[in-house]
Amino acid sequence: MSASRVFSRTLVSMAVATAAAFSGAAHAQFDQMYAPVAPPKSIDLGKVELGKKLYFDPRLSKSGFISCNSCHNLSMGGTDNIKTSIGDKWQQGPINSPTVLNSSLNLAQFWDGRAPDLKAQAGGPIANPGEMAFSHTLAIDMLASIPAYVREFKLVFGKDKPDIDQVTEAIAEFEKTLVTPNSKFDQYLLGHKEALNKDELAGYKLFNESGCVACHNGPNLGGNSFQKMGVVEAYKGNKEGVEGRSAVSGKAIDRFNFKVPTLRNVELTYPYFHDGASDTLAQAVDVMGRLQLGKTFTKQENAQVVAFLKTLTGEQPIFRLPILPPSSDSTPRPTPFK
């Protein structure tokens, strides 16, 4: 049995035992399993501004049409709100696009955690034929052909020529600013107990005492472990080719283990699960209860858990849309239909 599997079982039984021990008592004992989202610390503003431009620049794709923001739309909770993403030439992607909001708090990036951090992640989509379908060389040629970009890279990194390392570093720095503090739940954690109403509190209690907390804990209510999708009952959406953590570890026992997604802003990040199969939070909560914990919530309980989950919507990042420097006469032109 893998360590994460043992970890998950142990945590689930711990959570249930704790719930039993405290039953009747207030649920405040669970508060320490979570933490409020903090605003970003020590950010390099020059890198952030450059990274923001790159994040929104569709010229980093072969079609000249797809930017990071196409699939991680910051007007829509940092996702695309479709089951699986659409990439170059309208290709259907294999997996649901996770939110970029608070992704700096995750232990690793991607559903299977194959990128250790945001910088390592950011180079992936540009060169992925099913996403932006470009190459790092072409991306750098494009940037180097635009004098205003060359000047800005030089100002920020002090080097004569942009390279992919600088590109991914700037994007990652921008992504660190995409945190969402001050949700109702965070206000509650910070001592304003009245921030949650009766139903939301009842949902919080159910979330803890049913054992959701075993996997969805920490500041991101997830993002800090890999767990099996379908602990008690198999998940119908699990299929060959998208097998989660085993693709990275090479271990059969990690099949269908996925990074536990953050539940922050989950109200905005529908549809749910790695295949985007659940359209609504009510559905997702029902699936989680039955498959992960062997628990069927009543309609009222389900609505209360959903009410709690909606208290995790934080303040969305606010900034001016970046104005991108125009292409020069020598900038290679997009080839969307080739």
Write out the catalytic residue numbers: 131
- Any contact of residue 131 with ligand HEC (CB under 6 A)? yes
- Any contact of residue 37 with ligand HEC (CB under 6 A)? no
Rounded to the nearest 10°, the torsion over CA 227, 272, 62, 49 is: -80
- Nearer to ligand HEC by Cβ, of 215 and 307: the residue is 215
For 36-69, b where at least 16 C-beta lie within 10 A, e where not — what string?
Answer: ebeebeeeeeebbbbbbbbbbbbbbbbbbebbbb
User: CA–CA distance from 109 to each of 47, 102, 118, 226, 259 (Å)?
Assistant: 20, 11, 7, 11, 8
**Could you tell me the smallest distance in angstroms from the CB atom of residue 333 to ligand HEC?**
19
The pair of structure tokens assigned to 144 is: 């180097």
Among 52, 59, 62, 72, binds ligand HEC (CB under 6 A): 72
**Interior angle at CA 103, CA 91 and CA 84, nearest 5:** 20
- The three-class DSSP label of residue 86 is strand
**Could you tell me the smallest distance in angstroms from the CB atom of residue 200 to ligand HEC?**
13
Give the torsion sign (CA, 108, 94, 336, 319). negative
**Could you tell me the smallest distance in angstroms from the CB atom of residue 22 to ligand HEC?**
17
- Any contact of residue 64 with ligand HEC (CB under 6 A)? no
- Nearer to ligand HEC by Cβ, of 192 and 300: the residue is 300
For ligand HEC, the binding residues in 196-255 under the rule CB under 6 A are: 207, 210-212, 214-216, 227, 229, 231
- Nearer to ligand HEC by Cβ, of 189 and 231: the residue is 231
Among 77, 125, 162, 334, binds ligand HEC (CB under 6 A): 125
- The size of the chain, in residues, is 338
The pair of structure tokens assigned to 18 is: 């704790």
CA end-to-end distance (rounded Å), the chain: 48
Site string for ligand HEC, 77-106 (x = CB under 6 A): --------x-x-----x-x-xx-x--x--x
The one-letter amino acid code at 319 reads F
The contact set with ligand HEC (CB under 6 A) reads 8, 12, 66, 68, 70-72, 85, 87, 93, 95, 97-98, 100, 103, 106, 109-111, 118, 121-122, 125-126, 131-132, 171, 207, 210-212, 214-216, 227, 229, 231, 258, 260-261, 263, 266, 269, 272-274, 284-285, 288-289, 292-293, 305
